[in-house]
């Protein structure tokens, strides 16, 4: 059983690293141009799934900070979504 858990943790960390490598250039590209609220929402939706990981959370924050004045309602929604999903989780 211990090996199964250890293997699962290793695989989860690999998935998180792959997600970061995939989303880093996407976030950089979005931050360097104007985007629609729909495009921003799609990216934040996907990032939210990994927001328990520190590096992914930084990407999430970067997008939120970049577009907070452009789409304040959207960013407010995603900040609250993050709080609901991750800050209330007990480990």
Q: Per-residue pLDDT tens, the chain, 91 aa: give them.
A: 678 899 999 999 999 999 999 999 999 999 999 999 999 999 999 999 888 899 999 999 999 999 999 999 999 999 999 998 877 666 5
Q: What is the pTM of this model?
A: 0.85
Tokens of residue 42, six digits? 């799609």
Whole-angstrom Cα distance, residue 25 to residue 1?
38
A 10 A CB-CB count for 27 gives: 20
The number of residues making up the chain comes to 91
Identify the domain containing residue 36 by its residue range. Answer: 2-87
When divided into structural domains, the chain yields a total of 1
What pLDDT was estimated at residue 65? 97
């Amino acid at each position: 059983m211990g090996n199964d858990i250890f293997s699962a943790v290793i695989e989860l960390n690999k998935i998180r690293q792959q997600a970061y490598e995939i989303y880093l250039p996407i976030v950089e590209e979005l931050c360097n141009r104007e985007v629609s609220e729909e495009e921003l929402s799609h990216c934040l939706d996907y990032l939210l799934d990994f927001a328990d990981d520190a590096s992914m959370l930084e990407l999430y924050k970067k997008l939120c900070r970049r577009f907070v004045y452009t789409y304040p309602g959207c960013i407010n929604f995603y900040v609250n979504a993050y709080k609901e999903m991750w800050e209330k989780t007990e480990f």
